[in-house]
Amino acid sequence: MTAQITIKARDLDTDTKRVATIEVAPAWEPEEQRLQLARLVEEHHPGARLRSFADGAATFLDREHLIVASYSTLPPRPRAAKVLETSAQEPLFAR
């Protein structure tokens, strides 16, 4: 399973835009997603600082660019195995 991350950078002076798309192993927890986005942005824009993060998207800023990194596609989260109930339910009303 892979997830797709899109990194969009806009030059603050010229408004020029650059887009990069990267395939990665999916991160499920919000903290893992934030760290994964920050690591990938650091590879493309060293020195960019995290400004905000929510719902699988983060914004970054460096001296020249506003950067938005987000999950374009995220595969469905694996389901947890169902636990079978082994105890019997007690009757609701006494007879």
State the pTM of this model. 0.76
CA distance 26 to 22: 11
Position 1 scores a pLDDT of 81
CA distance 79 to 34: 22
Contact between residue 57 and residue 70 where contact means Cβ atoms under 8 Å apart = yes
Position 28 scores a pLDDT of 86
Chunked mean pLDDT (size 10), the chain, 95 residues? 94 97 92 96 96 96 97 72 65 69
Query: Domain coordinates of the chain in residue numbers?
Result: 3-73
Position 73 scores a pLDDT of 77
